[in-house]
Amino acid sequence: MRGPRVLVVDDNAINLQLVSYLLQSAGCEVSAVDHGQQALAALDAPDARFDAVLCDIQMPVMDGYELARRVKADPARRDLPMVALTALAMVGDRERVMQAGFDAYLSKPIEPATFIETLRGLVPGLWAPADAAREAAAGAPGDVSTPAPAGQTILVVDDTASNLELKQGMLQPLGYRVITASTPDQALALARQHRPDLIISDIGLGEGTGFDVIARVKAEPLLRSVPFLFLTATHWDEVSRARALELGADRYLTRPIDTPVLLGEIRALLARRPA
């Protein structure tokens, strides 16, 4: 079963990445652009085939209202579902959004835990983790978007709140239990308490580093066998990679990384974890 192809338009890079992660985790094909003119270009591409457009309202170059008006003015696109992503909360905002041509709207900030379920009623063909489970049972066990086995816990360590939110938004809809920490002390305390099935850590932390996290985890007999994945957007050098592997990391990945690739790495590591 294929999910729909969705065009996401937002000039805020964090929001764009979060929404893309959530949609990809639910099986969608996602194209992401940061303003309305780019969205029109994507829609005009020769091989363009979109099932829905999710669009921010306030954007430079061309805002969401103008984009919706132009899309809906084209008879060939009049039935293309358009969903506004808006933080507006003034009287009359809903009417203005709908008059511009949007079919529905969702409020910001995006709540990862409920985003997909809310959107299912607005985007035709969108499927949730429960649907993925049925697909896997029908013969697609290798699909990285299938739900996690019950009880699998992932500890995510990062000192940036938006990065933690992104990873939660990617993993929780698939059924993983996600716990988060922002310092080595918090990470070790949570690892001792929950005995996670996988640890994903950034390198640069506000207090200490990811190297401190893995060194302390590997020094604990009960945690030594927990798979450890580094995911960094800043430490691309071979010295850092070599140090991570020497300390016992199972994977050292750099961002940006495609969501299916990252999910595949995560599932591969979890498959090695003893029950």
Residues 25-51 have pLDDT tens digits of 667 889 999 999 999 999 999 888 899
Tell me if 269 sits within 8 A of 198, measured CB to CB.
Answer: yes
Mean pLDDT of all residues belonging to the chain: 83
pLDDT for res 133: 38
Could you give the domains of the chain? 5-127 (3.40.50.2300), 153-272 (3.40.50.2300)
Q: What is the mean pLDDT of residues 10-15?
A: 85
Question: How far is 81 from 122, CA to CA, in rounded Å?
Answer: 8
How far does the chain reach from its first CA to its final CA, in angstroms? 29
* Nearest CA among 241, 196, 248 for reference residue 181: 196
Residues paired with residue 31 on neighbouring β-strands, in sequence order: 7
The reported pTM is 0.56
Identify residue 188 by its one-letter amino acid code.
L
Q: Would strands 198-201 and 228-232 be described as parallel, antiparallel, or unpaired?
A: parallel
Please give the share of the chain, as a percent, with pLDDT higher than 70.
84
Identify residue 251 by its one-letter amino acid code.
R
C-alpha triplet 70, 13, 55: angle, nearest 5°: 25
**Which band of pLDDT confidence, cut at 50, 70 and 90, is reported for residue 61?**
confident
* Tens-digit pLDDT profile for residues 72-84: 999 989 889 999 9
Residues paired with residue 9 on neighbouring β-strands, in sequence order: 33, 55
**3-state SS assignment for residue 85:** strand
DSSP E strand boundaries for the chain: 5-9, 29-33, 52-56, 82-86, 104-107, 153-157, 177-181, 198-201, 228-232, 251-254
**Which band of pLDDT confidence, cut at 50, 70 and 90, is reported for residue 127?**
low
pLDDT for res 144: 47
* Tens-digit pLDDT profile for residues 135-188: 433 333 344 445 555 569 999 999 988 788 888 888 888 889 999 999 999 999
* Nearest CA among 166, 252, 179 for reference residue 211: 252
